[in-house]
Amino acid sequence: MFSGMDYDTFVALTFGLGAFSVFVGFVLAVLSIATSREDRKNPSKYASILFIFGGILLQVFWGSNEAGSTSTVLGIISYALIAIAVALLPVSIKHLKRLFENKKKREFYDICIKEGIENCISEKNREKASLIAQSKNLSYNRIEELYSEAKTLVGIEREKDNAAKLEKKLDEEKRLSWEWNKYSNYSKGREKRIAMLTDEVYDAEQRAKEQHSMAYGIVKSGQQKEQSWGLYGGLASGIAGPAAGLAAAMDVQAKNAQIRAQNAAWAELVKPVSIGYTYNALRIEDEAKFLKSQLESATSKLVSDAPASEVFECVAIYDVKVGISETGTAIITAMARMKKQVSIYDNLVAVIDGTIIAHVFEDKKEIGSTVMVLPALGICDGEPLRGIILSCADPKKDHFVSFEAGELWYIEK
């Protein structure tokens, strides 16, 4: 089976191959991480994984076991993984060399810009650029071509960075869109208020817990734990006799006294911060209690059957603003209040609840609309509204907003 090779030699070679495979894999992994910013699809990343796993399998399941059926199968798998990694190795090395070369070219361009070399037209600029290229061990035929290539690489990298930033920004705007429109599908009734208040109560309770936790944590973070003088004294007594035990116990008690003094000093030092967190927690707890009381009464609030168009006539919308982000997303903010006090069912003071539709126009052409959800307790004296339309607008153009009734109703205050 071993073609004249004794088993111990075979095991040693197998272990050696496995260890070498893991080593190569880690080297490729380090190089892959170092160039991850250059190219996230670096093939060396996959080769490193195959080398590492193949080497580990080869060591654990082949070299350290008797040559049984299980070891043989896993050994074949490990050899297959290493073989695939070896096949990828030339491509990986070539790719890594190109990435490191491009990195040096970008560094070359950055140094040129710092030195005031914005082109290679003049003889002075060409000479300076040549010296910089030599310091970076870059080979070239004409310094103008190297400069142009490096400038292009930097431009591509900046475009990638900008695209990544815009993608991250758009993801955040999508999250906002979901959050702001979470209650937009409720129709006339109490269910919207109940749903919003339920979530707001939970959020307030969680924020209060976090503030209490911060108050406790800031004090505990700088405190030390006292030692057990009985335990240490008993151990010393058992080893070296009663006198040693007594000495050890007294030493631990003295150290504990120091620890208590240090803990007290730390607690006094961070007391203002801890009090601040506790004050915030109590304030948020009061907010949660108020919201709970509103939630408990929400189930019995009466709702008018007035049509949405009639309710909308009682809404005054002012302080309207449209902001356009770099992704082209339009964010609309406004304030809304009731134009007059309204009573329902003869003498019940009412507020307005529901949704309002905002239409955004760009150079007199509508580019989108969004639902603006009224607050949990509705609008009365003046409440903020907000809406968002993803990737629809040009920030360089003028925009205005018109409003119409969505689902609107009067509900008992």
pLDDT higher than threshold 50 for residue 412: yes
pLDDT in the model for residue 260 = 75
Q: Whole-model pTM?
A: 0.63
Identify the residue with better confidence: 31 or 331: 331
Distances (CA, A) of 280 to 216, 217, 274: 13, 15, 10
User: What pLDDT is stored for residue 1 in this prediction?
Assistant: 46
Place of tokens 């004090």: 219
Span 372-383, pLDDT tens digits: 999 999 998 889
* pLDDT tens-digit map of 18-40: 777 778 777 777 777 766 655 55
Query: pLDDT value at position 336?
Result: 93
- Tell me, letter by letter, the H, E, C secondary structure of the chain: CCCCCCHHHHHHHHHHHHHHHHHHHHHHHHHHHHCCCCCCCCHHHHHHHHHHHHHHHHHHHHHCCCCCHHHHHHHHHHHHHHHHHHHHHHHHHHHHHHHHHHHHHHHHHHHHHHCCCCCCCCHHHHHHHHHHHHHCCCCCCCHHHHHHHHHHHHHHHHHHHHHHHHHHHHHHHHHHHHHHCCCCCCCCCCHHHHHHHHHHHHHHHHHHHHHHHHHHHHHHCCCCCCCCHHHHHHHHHHHHCHHHHHHHHHHHHHHHHHHHHHHHHHHHHCHHHHHHHHHHHHHHHHHHHHHHHHHHHHCCCCECCCCHHHHHCCEEEEEEEEEECCCCCEEEEEEEEECCCEEECCCEEEEEEEEEEEEEEECCEEEEEEEEECCCCCECCCEEEEEEECCCCCCCCCEEEEEEEEEEEEEEC
> Is residue 88's pLDDT more than 50?
yes
Question: Which tokens sit at 267?
Answer: 């607690």
Report the CATH fold assignment for 302-412: Immunoglobulin-like (2.60.40)
- pLDDT band, residue 136 (cuts 50/70/90): confident
pLDDT digits (tens, 9 = 90+) for 243-288: 655 665 566 667 767 777 777 887 777 788 888 888 888 999 999 9
pLDDT at residue 183 is higher than 60: yes
What does the CA dihedral 9, 10, 15, 17 come to, rounded to 10 degrees?
110
Question: Are β-strands 348-362 and 365-373 bridged in parallel, bridged antiparallel, or unpaired?
Answer: antiparallel
The first and second tokens of residue 107, run together, are 């560094």
Residue with tokens 């050899």: 79
pLDDT of residue 41 exceeding 90: no
Report the Cα 19 to chain-centroid distance in Å: 37
Task: Report pLDDT for 236.
Answer: 47
Is residue 238 scored above 90 in pLDDT?
A: no
pLDDT digits (tens, 9 = 90+) for 332-361: 999 999 999 988 888 899 999 999 999 999
- Asked whether the predicted pLDDT for residue 197 surpasses 60, the reply is yes
Q: Which amino acid makes up residue 249?
A: A
Q: How many CB atoms lie within 10 A of CB 92?
A: 20
Between these two residues, 396 and 219, which has the higher pLDDT value? Answer: 396
* Separation between Cα atoms, residue 152 and residue 150, nearest integer Å: 5
**pLDDT at site 384:** 92
d(CA 252, CA 244): 12
Mean pLDDT, all residues of the chain: 81
